[in-house]
Amino acid sequence: MSGKGTILITGASAGLGEEMARQFAALGYDLALCARRSDRLKALVEEIAAAHPARRVEARALDVTDGEAVHTVFRAFAEDFGTIDRVIVNAGLGKGAALGTGRHDANRETAMTNFVGALAQSEAALEVFRAQGRGHLVMISSMSALRGMRKAMTTYAATKAGVAALAEGLRSERVPGLDVSVVYPGYIRSEMNAHVAQKTRFMVDTPTGVRAMVAAIERRRVTAYVPAWPWVPIGLALRVLPLSVVRRLV
């Protein structure tokens, strides 16, 4: 049975990527999944295959900081499936420390994964989409990208702002047949933020948060703050409030 199309998701072995794979399979999509942890990927493929036997699910190990490997894997998926309809640039890290406190290694690792890795994924996706004449590029950013953040969040927020800027540049280029979406998740429980207090205000569980993400992606929204409540009004406020007020809010 043919599906609705093929979606390539990076960072699919855990968190938001893993749950997006489940939910898009349930909607009828075939999946090209990649992440560093091949054992977790294998378990996810088996789970989805059991729940949705009509769906085709393929997986490859990938470290998105290896630019050559990103291009190799994306090309291989395109050859395997014939067409990649959507690429979700999701792989990311949340490590970080205040600048100048001796943790350059953590900040650099986050920058390399979240921004340089996203650049490599975008390049590889656009190579496929330009050859096909169509495609949907989805960049997973963060509400923290809307303003500069303090201390451990400084580098992470900057990388996610860079991801959004890449997407806007592509929209400005008006590549024929290309749709570009940026999703700004709010507080969604995931492996990345498992250390955060369970009662963080506005935090939602992974399936609930990802449902909002998937709905926005399906509508091909140019920009989506998710879940819409309370993040749409918070997002609008963050863009205009003085930094002194933002510092007290987030």
- CA neighbor of 126 nearest in space, from 82, 179, 196: 179
Are 170 and 137 in contact by the 8 Å Cβ rule? The answer is yes
Q: At 92, is the secondary structure helix, strand, or coil?
A: coil
Are 184 and 145 in contact by the 8 Å Cβ rule? The answer is yes
Q: At 89, is the secondary structure helix, strand, or coil?
A: strand
For 139, half-sphere exposure in the C-beta direction (CA atoms, 13 angstrom radius) is 33
- Rounded to an integer, what is the distance from CA 28 to the centroid of its chain? 20
Are 128 and 74 in contact by the 8 Å Cβ rule? The answer is yes
CA 138/CA 135 separation, integer angstroms: 10
| Total Cβ atoms within 10 A of residue 34 | 29
Q: Is 156 a catalytic residue?
A: yes
Q: Which of 156, 184, 187, 225 is catalytic?
A: 156
Dmax over CA atoms of the chain, in Å, equals 56
Are 141 and 183 in contact by the 8 Å Cβ rule? The answer is yes
CA 210/CA 97 separation, integer angstroms: 27
Overall residue count recorded for the chain in this entry: 250
CA 146/CA 161 separation, integer angstroms: 7
Catalytic residue annotation: 156
